[in-house]
Chains A and B, each alone.
Chain A
Amino acid sequence: MSLANPARSARIARRKIANYAFTGFCFAVTAVALLALAAILWSLLSQGLGGLNLDVFTLSTPAPGSRGGLANAIVGSIMMCVLAMILATVVGVLAGTWLAEYAGSSRYGVAVRFINDVLLSAPSILVGLFVYEILVAPFGGFSGFAGAVALALLAAPVITRTTEDVLKLQAATLREAGVALGAPLSLVIREILWRSARGGILTGGLLAFARISGETAPLLFTALNNQFFSLDLSHPTANLPTVIFQYALSAYDDWRRLAWAGALLIAAAVLGVTILARLLAKEPSRR
């Protein structure tokens, strides 16, 4: 049986051509996108690995032309990120718990949830300005603490959101069983729900950590930078992103090499933590 109607076969041909164009476009743009992203990773690896050696981890940032590394920046970044994560986890887990367990559908709950979603993708440079206004300007100086607070403000919404989502996934019977045993709701939350949601909350924390560890903009005018090794967070504190920014835009080749090495370190850390988070997130479904 052949298609006798010429108008019909023409229409089918047209649809087929349109479909080829569509699928061709999808294949092409995916290839282009993957190529662009591969190119970025490639230059990161090829430029960064060359600058990576033991000095990077053991020496502090050098003057141009002399030997040096990124030790002070790495340590400063780690200190600020850890402090920020402590602050953000406390606030984020409690706020997420409130949204999931106490807020219900109250108007205030809806408002907080909405504001949290907006904060989740608010420009980080504005958070930096805000912290400058409340912590740096009034107290007369840039400090690692201000940097940590800025990072915490960026991490807290992520943790809040994941905590709320994970707690809402916990079975209602779990809550009911706890309450039926005579435990007050707060005890059920702390001893039962938090425990069973631990994996998910940890994943949220890791994702938040991945987000803040590469943030540059909010640190520019909170933590500033420091040429020397220091463990004192009450003064300007060296950190990887700011050092990379400064060194990458400098005219010295050795500084640029260090910047690439630093960028590679940050990207590797972020990717590593993200992969870890994904592996953890998958575990509950397997159990």
Chain B
Amino acid sequence: MTDAATTTFLGRPRTQPRGAFVGRIFEGLCFAAATALLATLAGLLVSLFIGGWPALSTFGLKFFVTSSWNPVTDVYGAAGPIVGTLVTAFLALLLALPVAGGVAFFLTELCPAPLRRPIGTAVELLAGIPSIVYGMWGLFVFAPLFAKYVQMPLMMSAPPGSLLEKLTTGIPNGSGILSASIILAIMILPFMAATLRELLLTVPSAVRESAYGLGATTGEVVMKVTLPYVRGGAIGAVMLGLGRALGETMAVTFIIGNAHGLPASLFDSGSTIASTIANEFTEATSPVHTSALIALGLVLFVITFAVLALARLLLRRQESRL
């Protein structure tokens, strides 16, 4: 045994090739795993395209601009879900952005030190709650309250013929476009607040302190110094939130009302791409129906990919600047 050990030690040429061989296999495995990730995204795109092609070739451009979704006559137009997806996601962003910003500013500048960690941790933990929980809460707790205290009063008080009346037509049962947007906003809020907070914490304290030293108020420090300092990353974080809202399935499916047409008002029932797929995919009646749903998935893929790619580019740039 000692003999063998010495030869391995001195006779390096004997062990070296084996080590190099194992090393090359190991590197190859790692490379294959990395490539598998790339292949997943490529495969995702290709499979959605192949699956959706029958519907896309049957309906052509009409698939994107018409809104009749009719499994009985096998005619599918996706304008309703596409508009529903964009409207709910942007409304959610509009609602969540100021709140997320306020929470992040509160945690970085205003919060008393002993509360900073517990509240920060709570926000981060809540970002991890499964979306189906938000959906259930929306349907069973939020919707009845929303119908009673927001929808009914607004519909009653809207003067006939006004814009408010147009925006508030519908059945006041608590579900609909606006309810879905609010639930989405609550869902992306912790995530956006946590990311923004992390970004704001990267601002060097010398920068903040010199602004305070010049006599700036807290509001001025945040709006004119620290927020501009992380601008690129902050936009990236917001876009990530948007990406989540666009692709969110369960939270929306519970509460949007699941109607296929173009939503006529904020309280009208609607659908998003994800909710349509979730509701109908396993019950699709014909091959064209399945294909139309997959084509919807392709549309969602293109939209979210664009948003996420932009978000990641902005975040990467921020990271490399630091």
Contacts and interface: CB of A to CB of B under 8 A. Distances in A.
Interface of A: 15-16, 18-19, 21-23, 25-30, 32-34, 36-37, 39-40, 43-44, 47, 90-95, 97-99, 101-103, 109, 111-112, 114-119, 121-127, 129-130, 132-134, 153, 156-157, 160, 182-187, 189-190, 210-211, 213-217, 220-221, 224, 241, 244-245, 248-249, 256, 259-260, 263, 266-267, 270-271, 274-275, 278
Contacts of A23: 110, 218-219
B56 to A, nearest CB: 15
Chain A binding surface, main DSSP class: helix
Contact of B99 (A32, A211, A274, A278): A32
B132 to A, nearest CB: 5
A123 B274 contact: yes
Contact of A248 (B32, B136, B243): B136
Contact of A241 (B130, B134, B220): B130
A220 B282 contact: yes
Contact of B219 (A18, A43, A125): A18
Interface of B: 12, 19-20, 22-23, 26-27, 29-38, 40-41, 43-44, 47-48, 50-51, 98-100, 102-103, 105-107, 109-110, 119, 121-123, 125-126, 128-137, 139-141, 186, 189-190, 193, 217-220, 222-223, 240, 243-244, 246-250, 253-254, 274, 277-278, 281-282, 294, 297, 300-301, 304-305, 308-309, 312, 316
B243 A224 contact: no
Nearest to B25: A186
A37 B122 contact: yes
Nearest to B19: A184
B131 to A, nearest CB: 7
A40 B305 contact: no
Contact of B134 (A40, A90, A220): A40
A34 B309 CA distance: 31
A118 B12 CA distance: 45
B36 to A, nearest CB: 6
B30 to A, nearest CB: 4
Contacts of B20: 184
B130 A119 contact: no
A17 to B, nearest CB: 10
Given A33-B100, A98-B30, 9 more contacts: A36-B186, A94-B33, A112-B35, A122-B44, A123-B300, A214-B130, A215-B130, A248-B135, A266-B130
Contacts of B110: 23, 26-27
Contacts of B250: 216-217, 241, 245
Contacts of A44: 133, 137
B281 A221 contact: yes
A196 B265 CA distance: 57
List the 6 closest pairs (A to B, CB-CB), nearest first. Answer: A214-B130, A123-B247, A22-B219, A29-B102, A98-B30, A94-B33
B261 to A, nearest CB: 21
Contacts of A36: 186, 189
Given A33-B103, A157-B37, A217-B274, A263 B218 contact: no
Contact of A216 (B130, B186, B297): B130
Nearest to B243: A121
Contacts of B186: 36-37, 40
A118 B41 contact: yes
A17 B281 CA distance: 55
Contacts of B12: 182
A125 B297 contact: yes
Contacts of B132: 214, 216, 241, 244-245, 263, 266
| A30, A187, A263: residue with the most chain B Cβ atoms closer than 10 Å | A30
Contact of B22 (A16, A112, A184): A184
Nearest to B26: A186
Contacts of A43: 137, 140-141
Contact of B282 (A16, A22, A127, A221): A221
A102 B38 contact: no
A263 B136 contact: yes
Nearest to B129: A267
A37 B134 CA distance: 10
| A21, A29, A187: residue with the most chain B Cβ atoms closer than 10 Å | A29
Contacts of B48: 126, 129-130, 133
